[in-house]
Amino acid sequence: MSDLEIAPYSGALGAEIFGVDVSQELSNSAATAIRQAFLDHKVIFFRDQTLSPPAQRRFATLFGEPEIYPFIKGFDDAPEVIEILKTEDDQKNFGGSWHSDTSYMPEPALGTVLHAIETPDAGGDTLFANTAAAYDALSDGMKRIVNGLVGVNSSENGYAGGRARAMANLNGMSGAFNKAAEVFESEHPVARTHPDTGRISLYLNKSHTVRFKDMTAAESRPLIDYLTDHIIRPEFTCRFRWRPGSIAVWDNRTTLHFAVNDYPGKRRRMNRVVLKGDRPR
């Protein structure tokens, strides 16, 4: 514990943690400090870590229960861990829009643990946004509106012919996607209360939120656009530059993230595990 250092990463959110090898069993004090940093800072970062898929799954249990992602086949020895690969020939990337992981599920992912295996020499950063700070900055009148809204979220939003089929067309993901994966649609409050901190966060995104309950998509779109553009204002965001061995752990209940697709002709390979969540309230 004496070597553990937690340093804020930006004014909006994020902390970088030094002095720990997460492939090893952590002391109770170190584990407690890391879990608290996750709640306090919403996304935490580690550098120069070496994790096999089973070791990544084991580390992920520090924050919650790893679960199977329905659209991608995991590793044989760690089925909860999936590989996300963009090859030199791929034009599109995985996660290239602002979103919260699996917000279309009845019980969306609590968090995500992403480990960088191969990274381009430049580009391929991930942006994060603090959706609690974004909610706090709304006017009282807008908060009253938002507090009464329920978002309808779909796994198929933006994917012509289905999410699994479209993503399977990526060269790096060929054969990894479950083309028969189920279609998910779920309703969640747009003003979500965090079960551990009690803070309210905006819980919607352009990738998955198609409309508000009891409203048409056309009626909903202007407010969805306003709120999601508000969330990603610079003062609510940070940008993480990856290198091999980097790890990011983020809280999907109170953040959005965006994988920047600015490295044409280069490879980016990551291993990811999501954590079982609960029904938003």
Residue 179 above 70 pLDDT? no
pLDDT for 160 equals: 44
Q: Which of 279, 130, 155 is nearest to 210 (CA)?
A: 155
State pTM to two decimals: 0.93
CA angle 203, 218, 257 (to 5 degrees): 30
pLDDT for 156 equals: 87
* 14-28, 174-188, 219-233: least confident range: 174-188
SS (H, E, C) 123-183: CCCEEEEEHHHHHHCCCHHHHHHHHCCEEEEECCCCCCCCHHHHHHCCHHHCCCECCCCCC
Q: What is the mean pLDDT of residues 155-166?
A: 58
Q: pLDDT tens digit string along 34-75?
A: 999 999 999 999 999 999 999 999 999 999 999 999 889 999
SS3 58: helix
Q: Which of 178, 176, 179, 182 is nearest to 75 (CA)?
A: 176
| Ramachandran class of 91: left when φ > 0, alpha when ψ lies in -120 to 50, beta otherwise | alpha
Residues with active-site annotation: 99, 101, 257, 272
pLDDT for 121 equals: 97
SS (H, E, C) 205-228: CCCCEEEECCCCHHHHHHHHHHHH
Residue 234 above 50 pLDDT? yes
Amino acid identity of residue 69, one-letter, is: Y
Average pLDDT, the chain: 93
Answer CATH for 5-275 from 3.60.130.10, 3.90.226.10, 3.10.129.10, 2.40.10.10 = 3.60.130.10
By the 10 Å C-beta count (0-12 exposed, 13-18 middle, 19+ buried), 80 is classed as buried
Amino acid identity of residue 210, one-letter, is: V
pLDDT for 167 equals: 53
| Residue 122, CB-side half-sphere exposure with 13 Å CA sphere | 0
pLDDT for 182 equals: 80
Listed in sequence order, the residues at least 6 apart from 216 whose beta carbon sits closer than 8 Å to its beta carbon are none
Q: What is the mean pLDDT of residues 169-190?
A: 73
| Residue 239, CB-side half-sphere exposure with 13 Å CA sphere | 9
Beta bridge partners of 33: none
